[in-house]
Every structure is written in structure tokens, then in C-alpha cells.
């Protein structure tokens, strides 16, 4: 049950992020129109850099979580598989919408020429190596820094408590 609650929480967080992106779309509509080629190259950069993969991974993670949740309920597998498959087109549509909004955001932040240079980097051999190794490197960084982060947070809270005590406050 704890895993199910964690899945629901993650899904709600992702839904909130998606909703924030979709709600931001009307605000972008009021800004000056973007040239389609500018948005297209921004989308290409997002795809080459792996950003849009996060949008499509929402469905994949949802599917994994449902399958894990139903591992002890084999009688539901056939129906669950059918429902999951039926939801795929809706998930793909939402991922495409999020990719479009994200591309428009990037297009407003960077010139088309700059985005073309970034795309060229990601297409280059070194850019491809970077993209391939980025995920693994980020996992290593997070794992390496996790204990340091916890220790630093505890240290800062202890120091905060000490300083507040000096000023007559008890926490």
C-alpha cells in the first residue's frame, strides 16, 4: 500500500507540473507570435537534450506503478492491460502538448540562431556522448552528494537552533 501511495504522490506532482505548464499556455498566447521554425528548433533542442523524454516517461512510470500495484491481483491483469493501452494515446497527446509548451518557452528565451547552435552541439559526437552519459552522471552526482546534503542540512539547522537560543528563542 505504501508503494501505491508513493505512486499517487508522484503522479500528483507530475500532474501539477503538467497543469502548471498547460495553464501557462494562455499567457504565452498573449505574447507576440513565434515563427514556427524558431519553435521547431527549440523543440528539437528539447528532444536532443532529453527534456521531452521526461514527458513521455510519465506514462511509462504510470504503467510500471500500476503493474507493480497489481502484482498481487492477477485476476485484474487483463483488464488493467487493456485500460493502460487505451490510455496511451491520451498520454501521448498530453506529452506532445507539454513538449510544445516547453518549446515555446525555450523559443522565447533563446534566439533561433542560438538554438540552432545548441542543436548542432547535441548532434555532434561530443554532444551525443554528453547526452548518453548525462543521466548516469546525474545519478552518480545525486548519490554522492546525498550524505553531504543531509549533513549540511543538519549542521545548518543545529547552528540555526544555537543562534536562535542565543537570542532567547527555543525551538
Per-residue pLDDT tens digits for 83-109: 999 999 999 999 999 999 999 999 999
Residue 37 lies in a domain: no
56-66 mean pLDDT: 91
In-domain check, residue 130: no
> Per-residue pLDDT tens for 110-169?
999 999 999 999 999 999 999 889 888 988 998 999 999 899 989 998 999 999 999 998
Domain that holds residue 18: 2-32+51-110
Over residues 38-57, mean pLDDT: 92
Whether 22 shows a pLDDT value over 80: the answer reads: no
Asked if 141 and 94 sit in the same domain, the reply is no
Q: What are the cell numbers at 112?
A: 533561433
DSSP characters for 13-52? Answer: HHHHHHHHHHHHHHHHHHSPPPPHHHHHHHHHHHHHHTHH
CA 28/CA 98 separation, integer angstroms: 13
The whole-number average pLDDT for the span 20-48 is 75
The predicted structure's pLDDT at residue 43: 95
Does pTM top 0.75 for this prediction? no
Domain shared by 140 and 106, yes or no: no
In a domain, 99, yes or no: yes
**CA 63 – CA 81 distance, rounded (Å):** 9
| Distance separating the N- and C-terminal Cα atoms of the chain | 34
Residues 83 and 164 reside in one and the same domain: no
Q: What is the model's pLDDT at position 14?
A: 59
Same domain for 139 and 98?
Answer: no
Task: Encode burial over 36-67: b for 16+ CB neighbours within 10 A, e otherwise.
Answer: eebbebbbbbbebbebbebbbebbeebbebbe
Q: Is residue 128 part of a domain?
A: no
Whether residue 79 sits in one domain with residue 19? yes
Residues 98 and 16 in one domain: yes
- Would you say residue 22 lies in a domain? yes
Lowest mean pLDDT among 6-20, 32-46, 83-97, 117-131: 6-20
* 7 and 78 within one domain: yes
Residues 88 and 159 in one domain: no
Q: Residue 72: phi, psi to the nearest 5?
A: -95, 5
CB 59 within 8 A of CB 91: yes
83 with 18, same domain? yes
- pLDDT for 30 beyond 90: no
Look at residue 170 and give its three-state secondary structure.
coil
Residue 101 sits in the same domain as residue 158: no
The count of other CB atoms within 10 Å of the CB of residue 128 is 13
Quick check: is 73 in a domain? yes
Residues 82 and 18 grouped into a single domain: yes
* Structural domain count of the chain: 2
Residue 112: predicted pLDDT? 96
- The reply to whether 126 falls in a domain is no
Amino acid at each position: 500500500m505504501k508503494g501505491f501511495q508513493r505512486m499517487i504522490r508522484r503522479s500528483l506532482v507530475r500532474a501539477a507540473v503538467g497543469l502548471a505548464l498547460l495553464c501557462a499556455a494562455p499567457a504565452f498566447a498573449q505574447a507576440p507570435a513565434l515563427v514556427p521554425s524558431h519553435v521547431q528548433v527549440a523543440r528539437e533542442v528539447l528532444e536532443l537534450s532529453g527534456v521531452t523524454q521526461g514527458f513521455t516517461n510519465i506514462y511509462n512510470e504510470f504503467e510500471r506503478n500500476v503493474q507493480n500495484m497489481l502484482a498481487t491481483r492477477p485476476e485484474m491483469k487483463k483488464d488493467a492491460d487493456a485500460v493502460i493501452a487505451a490510455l496511451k494515446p491520451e498520454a501521448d497527446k498530453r506529452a506532445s502538448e507539454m513538449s510544445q509548451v516547453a518549446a515555446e518557452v525555450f523559443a522565447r528565451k533563446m534566439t533561433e540562431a542560438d538554438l540552432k547552435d545548441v542543436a548542432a552541439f547535441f548532434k555532434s559526437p561530443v554532444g551525443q556522448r554528453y547526452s548518453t552519459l548525462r543521466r548516469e552522471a546525474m545519478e552518480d552526482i545525486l548519490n554522492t552528494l546525498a550524505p553531504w546534503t543531509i549533513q549540511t542540512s543538519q549542521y545548518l539547522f543545529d547552528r540555526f537552533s544555537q543562534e536562535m537560543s542565543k537570542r532567547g528563542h527555543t525551538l
